[in-house]
C-alpha cells in the first residue's frame, strides 16, 4: 500500500490562502491603530466640534439648505479626516524605519507589497467613519430644524472618497521617501491650494479637478437648478485614489495582471470623471435658471396665513411660518387704519451668469412684471437664505417700507442702493424692522456696521445680491435712538403721530422731535 504524502505547508494551495488571511489580519490591526491614533481622534473631535459650534454661531444652520450644506460637510471631512488619513497612513508605512526594525520585517511571511495592501485596506474603515459622521450631521440638520431641499448622495460620498485619496497619498509617500515630514508638507500644500483657489472658483470648470471641486451658486437654489457635476467628481476622486494606491503597490514591488487591471480601471475612472466634470451645465439647465430667476411665480406654491399670502419654491416652503412671525410682528405696530387689506411675500432667486447680463434695475422690473402677471402686484421679496439676523431685518424692513409708503422697494435706473427712504418714512422703516424681534434687531446692528458706505446709512435687500431700500445715516440714527428707548412709549408716539411721520414733508429732525430723541445731523442723501 502506497502512502500519499501530506501536502506541505509551502505548497501553492496552502500558500495561496495564507497570505490573504495574513493581509486581512494585518489590515485589521492597522485599522485599529489608525482609528485610535491621536491625529485621527483629534481630527474627528475638531470636525464634530466645528459642526456643533456652527449650529449656535451661524444662524442659517437653524434653517438649513441641505443641498448647500452637504458640500460644506464634504470639505470638513476632506481637510480633517483626510489629513489624518494622510499623516497616520504615512506614519504606519514608516513605522519599521522609525523603529529600526526594517531588517526584521524582511523575514516576515508578508512581503512589502502585501504589507502595503494591508495599509491601503486600513483606510476603508476610516472613510466609512467619515461617511457615518456626514450622514449623522445631515440627519440632525434635516430632523432638528425646518430644512430646505435635500442633500445630494454623491456630494455626501465625496468626503469619504477624499479620505481614501489622501490616505493613499500618505501610503505612497511612505514608499517613496523615508522622511515623516513629507506627509505634513503635502497636507500643507493642499490647505494652501484650498485657500488660494477659493477666490478663483467661480465660473472656472477646471477647478473641479481640485479635490474640493468647483464653486456653488451665489445663493441657495432649488435642487433642480444646481447641476453640479458631483457624480463625475466622485468618480474622478475614486480614480485618483486608485492610481495612487496602484503606484504605492508598484513601488512596493507588486507586479502582475491584477495590478495592471486595477491601474487601468483607476485611470479610466479618472479620465472619464475628469472630462465629464469639465463640461458646463447643458442648455436646458441654463434656460431653467434664467426662467426661474425672471419668473419665480411660475415655479412657486402660495399659502395664505391671515391677510398675507406667502409664495415659495417647493424646497423652501417649510420656512413660511418663520416669515409669517416676522411679518406679523411688524404689522402689529402699524395703526389698523394704515394696514393694507392684503400683503404678498414672494421668494426671489437671482443666479448671475444666466440672466443675459441683466442689471439690478431690469431684473427688479422683471420681478414686478411677474408679480402683476401672477395677480400679486406689489409683492415683497424674500431671499432663499434664512435664519440669521440680516435676513430677518431685510424682510422686516421691506414689509415696513410697504406699510409706510404703500410701495415696494427696488433699484431704479441710476440708483445703486435701491429706493431711498427719507425723513419720517426712513425712521419708521428701521424702527418697525426692529420690532420684528431680537434676531431682527441683531440683524439691523450687523447691517448698519457692515454695509456702511461713504454716506453712512444702511441698505436692506430683496435678495443678498440686490438692494431694495436704503435708509440714510440721519434717519438710521434717529431710529436707533428710538429702539434704545422703552418700546411701549415709542409705540404710543408712533400710533398717535402716524400720519405726520409718514407725510412726505417730515424730515429726520421732525421725526426725532415726535419720538422724543435727539435730533440728527442734516441729511445729504435726501436733499
Of the candidates 267, 205, 217, 258, the residue with the CA atom closest to the CA atom of residue 238: 267
Q: What is the helix (H) or strand (E) element at residue 121, kind and residue range?
A: helix 112-121
**DSSP state string for 229-258:** -HHHHHHHHHHHHHHHHHHHHHHTT--SHH
Of the candidates 391, 453, 460, 466, the residue with the CA atom closest to the CA atom of residue 430: 460
pLDDT score for 93: 92
Residue 521, Cβ neighbours under 10 Å: how many? 11
**Beta strands at 466-471 and 419-420: parallel, antiparallel or unpaired:** parallel
Range list of H helices, 58-181: 66-76, 82-93, 95-98, 102-105, 112-121, 123-143, 153-176
Mapped onto helix, strand or coil, the DSSP state of residue 141 is helix
Q: What is the helix (H) or strand (E) element at residue 312, kind and residue range?
A: strand 308-313
Residue 180 per-residue DSSP state: T
pLDDT score for 219: 82
CA-to-CA dists, residue 479 to 164, 326, 408, 434, 453, angstroms: 56, 18, 20, 9, 18
Cβ(448)–Cβ(483) below 8 Å: no
pLDDT score for 1: 41
From CA 119, how far away is CA 89, in angstroms rounded?
Answer: 7
What are the beta bridge partners of residue 459? 470
Per-residue pLDDT 10s for the chain (527 aa) are 444 444 444 433 333 334 788 889 999 999 999 999 999 999 999 998 888 887 776 666 788 899 888 887 788 898 899 999 999 999 999 987 765 455 545 545 678 889 999 999 999 999 999 999 999 999 988 887 788 989 999 999 999 999 999 999 999 999 998 888 899 998 888 888 777 766 555 556 656 666 666 666 778 888 888 888 889 999 999 999 999 999 999 999 898 899 999 999 999 999 999 888 887 777 888 888 889 989 999 999 999 999 999 999 999 999 999 999 999 999 999 999 888 889 999 999 887 654 445 666 678 888 889 999 999 998 999 989 898 899 999 999 999 999 999 888 765 544 556 788 999 999 999 999 999 999 999 999 988 887 555 567 888 988 877 778 999 989 999 999 999 988 888 999 999 999 999 998 899 999 999 999 988 876 666 76
From CA 205, how far away is CA 236, in angstroms rounded?
Answer: 14
Residue 125, Cβ neighbours under 10 Å: how many? 16
Q: What is the arrangement of strands in the sheet containing 308-313, beginning at the earlier edge strand?
A: 300-305, 308-313, 343-347, 380-382
- What residues contact residue 107 under an 8 Å CB cut-off, 6+ apart? none
| Cα 172 to the center of its chain, rounded Å | 32
Residue 416, Cβ neighbours under 10 Å: how many? 10
Q: How far apart are the first and last CA of the chain?
A: 121
Cβ(392)–Cβ(460) below 8 Å: no
pLDDT score for 303: 94
- What residues contact residue 377 under an 8 Å CB cut-off, 6+ apart? 368, 371
CA-to-CA dists, residue 456 to 405, 417, 451, 523, angstroms: 22, 12, 8, 10
Angle, vertex CA 220, rays to CA 217 and CA 223, nearest 5:
90
Angle between helical axes of 182-197 and 82-93 (0-180°, round to 10):
160
Mapped onto helix, strand or coil, the DSSP state of residue 375 is coil
From CA 323, how far away is CA 310, in angstroms rounded?
Answer: 8
**Beta strands at 380-382 and 419-420: parallel, antiparallel or unpaired:** unpaired
Cβ(77)–Cβ(135) below 8 Å: no
**What's 162-222 look like in SS3?**
HHHHHHHHHHHHHHHCCCCCHHHHHHHHHHHHHHHHHHHCCCCHHHHHCCCCCCCCCCCCC
Whether the full predicted model's pTM is greater than 0.85, yes or no, is: no
Longest dimension (CA), the chain: 124
From CA 199, how far away is CA 5, in angstroms rounded?
Answer: 73
pLDDT score for 300: 94
Range list of H helices, 252-311: 257-277, 283-294
Angle between helical axes of 423-434 and 438-450 (0-180°, round to 10):
130
Cβ(451)–Cβ(459) below 8 Å: yes
- Identify how many contiguous H helices and E strands the chain contains and give both numbers: 22, 7
Count, residues in the chain:
527
Amino acid at each position: 500500500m502506497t502512502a500519499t504524502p501530506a501536502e506541505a505547508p509551502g505548497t501553492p494551495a496552502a500558500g495561496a490562502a495564507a497570505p490573504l488571511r495574513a493581509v486581512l489580519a494585518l489590515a485589521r490591526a492597522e485599522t485599529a491603530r489608525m482609528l485610535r491614533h491621536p491625529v485621527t481622534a483629534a481630527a474627528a473631535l475638531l470636525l464634530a466640534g466645528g459642526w456643533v459650534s456652527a449650529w449656535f454661531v451661524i444662524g442659517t444652520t437653524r434653517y438649513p439648505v441641505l443641498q448647500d450644506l452637504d458640500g460644506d460637510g464634504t470639505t470638513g471631512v476632506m481637510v480633517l479626516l483626510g489629513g489624518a488619513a494622510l499623516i497616520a497612513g504615512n506614519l504606519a508605512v514608516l513605522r519599521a524605519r522609525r523603529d529600526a526594525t526594517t531588517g526584521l520585517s524582511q523575514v516576515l511571511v508578508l512581503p512589502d507589497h502585501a504589507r502595503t495592501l494591508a495599509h491601503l485596506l486600513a483606510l476603508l474603515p476610516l472613510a466609512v467613519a467619515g461617511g457615518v459622521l456626514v450622514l449623522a450631521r445631515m440627519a440632525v440638520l434635516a430632523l432638528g430644524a425646518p430644512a430646505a431641499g435635500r442633500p445630494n448622495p454623491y456630494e455626501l460620498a465625496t468626503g469619504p472618497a477624499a479620505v481614501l485619496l489622501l490616505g493613499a497619498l500618505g501610503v505612497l509617500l511612505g514608499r517613496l521617501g523615508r522622511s515623516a515630514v513629507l506627509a505634513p508638507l503635502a497636507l500643507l500644500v493642499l490647505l494652501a491650494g484650498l485657500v488660494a483657489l477659493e477666490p478663483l472658483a467661480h465660473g472656472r470648470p477646471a477647478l473641479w479637478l481640485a479635490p474640493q471641486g468647483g464653486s456653488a451658486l451665489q445663493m441657495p437654489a432649488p435642487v433642480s437648478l444646481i447641476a453640479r457635476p458631483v457624480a463625475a467628481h466622485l468618480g474622478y476622486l475614486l480614480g485618483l485614489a486608485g492610481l495612487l494606491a496602484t503606484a504605492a503597490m508598484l513601488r512596493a514591488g507588486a507586479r502582475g495582471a491584477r495590478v495592471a487591471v486595477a491601474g487601468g480601471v483607476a485611470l479610466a475612472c479618472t479620465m472619464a470623471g475628469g472630462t465629464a466634470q469639465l463640461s458646463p451645465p447643458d442648455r436646458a439647465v441654463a434656460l431653467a435658471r434664467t426662467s426661474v430667476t425672471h419668473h419665480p411665480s411660475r415655479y412657486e406654491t402660495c399659502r395664505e396665513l391671515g391677510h398675507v399670502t406667502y409664495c415659495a419654491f417647493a424646497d423652501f416652503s417649510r420656512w413660511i411660518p418663520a416669515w409669517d412671525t416676522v411679518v406679523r410682528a411688524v404689522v402689529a405696530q402699524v395703526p389698523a387704519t394704515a394696514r393694507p387689506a392684503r400683503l404678498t411675500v414672494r421668494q426671489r432667486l437671482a443666479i448671475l451668469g444666466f440672466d443675459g447680463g441683466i442689471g439690478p434695475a431690469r431684473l427688479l422690473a422683471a420681478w414686478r412684471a411677474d408679480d402683476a402677471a401672477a395677480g400679486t402686484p406689489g409683492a415683497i421679496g424674500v431671499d432663499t437664505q434664512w435664519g440669521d439676523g440680516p435676513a430677518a431685518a431685510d424682510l422686516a424692513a421691506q414689509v415696513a417700507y410697504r406699510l409706510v409708503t404703500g410701495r415696494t422697494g427696488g433699484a431704479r435706473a441710476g440708483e445703486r442702493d435701491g429706493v431711498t427712504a427719507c425723513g419720517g418714512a426712513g425712521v419708521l422703516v428701521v424702527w418697525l424692522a426692529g420690532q420684528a424681534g431680537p434676531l431682527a434687531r441683531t440683524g439691523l446692528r450687523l447691517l448698519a456696521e457692515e454695509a456702511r458706505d461713504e454716506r453712512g446709512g444702511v441698505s436692506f435687500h430683496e435678495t443678498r445680491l440686490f438692494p431694495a431700500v436704503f435708509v440714510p445715516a440721519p434717519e438710521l440714527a434717529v431710529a436707533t435712538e428710538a429702539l434704545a428707548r422703552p418700546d411701549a412709549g415709542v409705540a404710543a408716539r408712533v400710533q398717535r403721530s402716524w400720519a405726520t411721520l409718514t407725510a412726505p414733508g417730515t424730515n429726520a429732525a421732525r421725526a426725532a422731535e415726535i419720538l422724543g430723541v435727539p435730533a440728527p445731523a442734516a441729511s445729504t442723501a435726501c436733499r
